[in-house]
Structure 1
Amino acid sequence: MTDTDTVRPALAGDCHAIILAGGSGTRLWPLSRNLLPKQLLVLDGTTTLLQQTVSRVLEMFPPDHVWVVTNEEHVFEVRKQVSVLDARLETQVLAEPLGRNTLPAIMLGLDRVVEVNPKALAAVFPSDHLIRNGEAWAADLVRASELAADKRFVTFGVKPDKPETGYGYIALGEDLGGNAFAVRGFVEKPDLRTAEGFVREGSHLWNSGMFLFSAKLFLSQVARFEPVLWDWWMRRDETPLVRGYRDIPDISVDYGVVEKIDNITAVRAGFDWDDLGSWEAMYRLGEKDASGNVVKGDVLAMGCSGCLLISEGGKLAVSGLSNMIMVQTRDATLACPMDRVQTVRDVVAALKAEGSSLVESHPTVYRPWGNYTVLEEGPHYKIKRIQVNPGARLSSQMHHHRSEHWVVVDGTAEVEVNNVPVILVENQSVDIPKASQHRLANPGKVPLDIIEIQSGPYLEEDDIVRFDDVYGRVQK
């Protein structure tokens, strides 16, 4: 019998799952970018981290009890990924207008939960964790649901196997039996000496960021400790939560609620856990060759040992390296000693400060209708390869500052320019003058590939005025 065939024990009470899928994953740059963060990438196996999380959750929760919270930039990709697993999940994806950290995201999910059942229990799961041993995870979830039904706020802790300075820790109190402990407090990312003491004494667990609680209990603590968020929540019948998002504080669930409330219980995990939050974790969990290297992609490694070597863009040739990380994409390369992996966040911050687009997106950007790849760009011009999915249709739009020239490479294009329709096939082209209303669609059954040449003084993506859009992206 496979793991997915195992009959799972039932959770206590009416329990819903809230999956948080809105993070940016800056520590895995340059693979993880703002427009395609780590939870949407295939980093371990053949499915994305989000899909692995949803598959695991569906073994314990019915689809109509699963809510996925992401943001507007990722909502179409998230819906696509989860609907592959169960078509009913497409309507269970909620979009934040902008990131406001984990506490508002959880409250957005709870809005739907309490609409179904005000007395429900809610389990919160990050979408970017790697968990093995599904039976132990299910058993721990059942134990946590029993404690939550007994009016306890439950967090999941992982027994540390090394002094990790990048994780938060849970200080354990009284042993309550059944792998459950009272919580004495929390320690956020200790220094190495303190972390070594935690591991040696066995007095602390890693904070996994997973929780299970009564929705009513949780909201009462928000009312107690976060009055601004509580006021926002209480006005949701008059003004939907998403409309007030820009005015609420950016605050984590740990800082806003968890670290302040009483009667917290930790369930010590019986499952293997890792948050895949750094390149060091990718190396540690990867399959190693005879020299201790983890190698992925088109890599030539000569005389290297203990390295993580990844290429997703051209040949990566390395020689004589030890304990190094080398990650190459089509437009960026990261080189970092293994013991300096935590500084990748600083690299991303520096790139963001200089206005680099490398933080935002890969050369290939995914949209609900397909994708585009920037092939080349310079002053006053940009060349893209655009792929439109069969039956998909872009918005009817106009640009103030650029003209475009489209050449069909493969497939059939349905084009409208100023309400004049035309059908184009391979090697045919069309000009889109500046300030003209235009639209592109693929009426065929195979992907449509075109080359787009943009010219003008301003070529950024925000020079788009949408008139009509099947994906609801027209500004109100």
Structure 2
Amino acid sequence: MDKPDAVKVEFAEECHAIILAGGSGTRLWPLSRNLLPKQLLVLGGELTLLQQTVARVLEAFEPSRIWVVTNEEHVFEVRKQITAMDPGLESQVLAEPLGRNTLPAIMLGLDRVAGDNLNALAAVFPSDHLIGGSEAWTGDLERASRLAADGHFVTFGVEPRHPETGYGYITLGEDLGEGASAVDGFVEKPDLKTAEGFVKGGRHLWNSGMFLFRIKDFLTQVAKCQPELWEWWMARDEVPLVQAYREIPNISVDYGVVEKIDNIAVVRAGFRWDDLGSWEAMYRLGEKDSNGNVIQGDVLALDCRNSLLISEGGKLAAVGVEDMIMVQTRDATLACPMPRVQMVRDVVETLRAQGSQLVESHPTVHRPWGNYTVLEEGPHYKIKRIQVVPGARLSSQMHHHRSEHWVVVDGTAEVEVDNEPRILVENQSVDIPKASQHRLANPGKVLLNIIEIQSGPYLEEDDIVRFDDEYGRVGKTS
């Protein structure tokens, strides 16, 4: 995509961007799941939150200076989404083998840029925030870069518009000029009374979660504040960072570094900002009808007031509800009073403790070759629709506990079972016996749709042995 003139900013040649695209987005369940978190969803407009972030960062940074850190489960979807914004980003995705919070993720990104110039700057951006006013955003980055070049660790604060209990706050200290202040402290998600006092007092800003710093200064603070992580970092030539990822602490950059150092500055944001971190935020930012409702999808609302009503799976009929959140997908429905929206996280934790798949994935799961949708399942059987994009090929694999039957709905399937290849077209089928090595590909120029019927005593996705895979997943279960 063509980038506007805003790319010609003063700091562009001396700064790298790290976009954090991990996280599970539990507060937007049931739309957001572990395998498709909120940053990968379109939640208004035409672009996902990640794509909106990338588009904004491309206004100030060349693709070669942008790194996106995500979980290895999301690598292929992240790469697809950001490459659609700029093909030069295809090789700029870094994968965490598992989530270890924001500090290790930032250090994973710094591993790619620190060798060039430790005096260079790095900016860190979450991928799930809504930001408006690109000219103000770029100008604030320039101001922050000057502070960082002088040795400050810089964050960005947003003037609070209302007493919000779901955000962190920054306490303002000495005025540093140019709309910047020293930071006297941080307050994490205060209660309502405290938040009301912050809004009235004028000495607190919302913490946007964006940072800018000189790489050398940041690493010095990691060595001082987090010696275990520093050891991990210093040993990276002998043991790659991702290889030792499971042994390092799960720790945020705020708690691990930012809250422990003194030379922190905050730039008062001139841009519009919102952390789309709850259904209440979705309601607040959404377009409302004459009754104050935000309605998306196939919804019938009768005598409803001031409610968020979303359906992505069948008709949602709501009668007489007020100040409610109702979100329906094909496999789950959330009904929650607006004042108790923070309890959505408790719902997710309860489901996780019960071992529910509703936390992990939607009925449709995206894969690098296409997607599959679970149509129906029960004891000893599961029925899926599998879609394979033109030219794509699944791994060569086998299953210990299940057999499969494939029926081609439309398109052309290239099938290999125990080294015997064949071509199947519409309405033709093939049996895949248990423990048979098999592979599926789409050699055609149109989407391939097949129906897969699984049968056996165990039908979970981890019953898979890969022998060969174009996407580097041999030995992995997804």
- Equivalent positions of 1:19-98 (< 5 A) are 19-98=19-98
* Mapped contact 2:39–2:128 kept (Cα < 8 A): yes
The answer to whether structure 1 residue 217 and structure 2 residue 217 are counterparts is: yes
Alpha carbons of structure 1 residues 269 and 30: separation in structure 2 relative to 1, 3 Å: same
Structure 1 Cα separation of the partners of residues 433 and 475 of structure 2: 23
Q: Please state how far the C-alpha of 1:325 moved relative to its aligned partner.
A: 0.4
Alignment of 1:355-434 (within 5 A): 355-434=355-434
Corresponding residue for residue 228 of structure 1:
228
> For the aligned residues, what is the CA RMSD?
1.2
Following the alignment from structure 1 to structure 2, what is the Cα–Cα distance between the partners of residues 115 and 90? 21
The answer to whether structure 1 residue 177 and structure 2 residue 177 are counterparts is: yes
Cross-structure match for 1:104: 104
Question: Separation in 2 of the partners of 1:435 and 1:245?
Answer: 33
2:127 and 2:3 map into 1 onto residues whose CA distance is 20
Cα drift, residue 10 of structure 1: 2.2
Q: CA deviation at 1:44?
A: 2.1
Cα contact 2:7–2:60 (8 A) shared by 1: no
Aligned partners of 1:363 and 1:166: how far apart in 2?
Answer: 30
Matching of residues 39-438 of structure 1 within 5 Å: 39-438=39-438
Give the Å deviation of 1:436: 0.3
Over 3 Å counting, the alpha-carbon distance change for 1:279 and 1:3 in structure 2 is farther
TM-score (norm 2): 0.98
Specify the alignment match of 1:15 in structure 2: 15
| Cα 1:80/1:3, change in 2 over 3 Å | closer
Give the TM-score normalised by the residue count of structure 1: 0.98
- Distance change (3 Å), C-alpha of 1:4 and 1:341: farther
Q: Mapping of 1:448-467 within 5 angstroms?
A: 448-467=448-467
Gap change, CA 1:276 and 1:256, over 3 Å in 2? same
Query: For this pair of structures, how many residues does the alignment match?
Result: 475
The alignment-based identity, stated in percent, is: 79
Deviation at 1:119, TM superposition (A): 2.0
CA–CA distance in structure 2, aligned partners of residues 118 and 140 of structure 1 = 23
CA contact (8 A) 1:12 1:149 kept: no
CA shift, 1:13, in A, is 5.9
Per-residue displacement from partner, 1:299-335 (whole Å, max 9, x unpaired)?
0000001010000000000110111000000000000
The Cα shift of 1:88 comes to: 1.3
Counterpart of 1:95, as a letter, is: A
8 Å CA contact 2:7, 2:58 repeated in 1 = no
In 2, the alpha carbon distance for the partners of 1:229 and 1:35 equals 27
Query: Structure 2 CA distance, aligned partners of 1:134 and 1:44?
Result: 18
1:161 shift after superposition: 0.8
Q: Take 2:279 and 2:200, find their aligned partners in 1: how far apart are those partners? A: 25
Say which SS state the counterpart of residue 445 (structure 1) adopts.
Answer: coil
Give CA-to-partner distance per residue, 1:77-134, whole Å, 9 cap, x none: 0000000111110100000000000000000000001123222100000000000111
Give me the whole-angstrom Cα distance separating, in 2, the residues matched to 1:81 and 1:444.
23
The alpha-carbon deviation at position 4 of structure 1 amounts to 4.5
**Residue 446, structure 1, aligned to residue 446, structure 2:** yes
What do residues 25-49 of structure 1 show as CA deviations (whole Å, max 9, x unaligned)? 0000000000000000000210000
CA separation of 1:328/1:263 partners in 2, compared to 1, >3 Å: closer, same or farther?
Answer: same
**Superposed displacement of residue 266, structure 1:** 0.3
**CA separation of 1:455/1:12 partners in 2, compared to 1, >3 Å: closer, same or farther?**
closer
Distance 1:328 1:297 in 2: 9
In structure 2, do the counterparts of structure 1 residues 12 and 148 end up closer, same or farther at CA, with 3 Å as the change threshold? farther
CA distance 1:324–1:4, change in 2 (3 Å) = farther
What one-letter code is carried by the residue in structure 2 that aligns with 1:124? V
Deviations 1:326-381 (A, max 9, x none): 00000000000011100000000000010100000000000000000000000000
Do the aligned partners of 2:118 and 2:214 also contact (CA within 8 Å) in 1? no
The one-letter amino acid of 1:183's match is: V
1:475 Cα deviation after fit: 1.9
Q: Residue 73 of structure 1: SS of its match in structure 2?
A: helix
| Structure 2 CA distance for aligned equivalents of residues 119 and 74 of structure 1 | 32
Q: Is the 2:6–2:138 contact (alpha carbons within 8 Å) kept by the matching residues of 1?
A: no
* In 1, Cα distance between equivalents of 2:12 and 2:406: 58
State whether residues 10 and 60 of structure 1, in contact with CA within 8 Å, keep that contact through their aligned partners in structure 2.
Answer: no
What's the secondary structure of 2:257's corresponding residue? helix
CA distance in 1, matches of 2:256, 2:125: 17
Partner of 2:113: helix, strand, or coil? helix
**Does structure 1 conserve the Cα–Cα contact (< 8 Å) formed by 2:404 and 2:454?**
yes
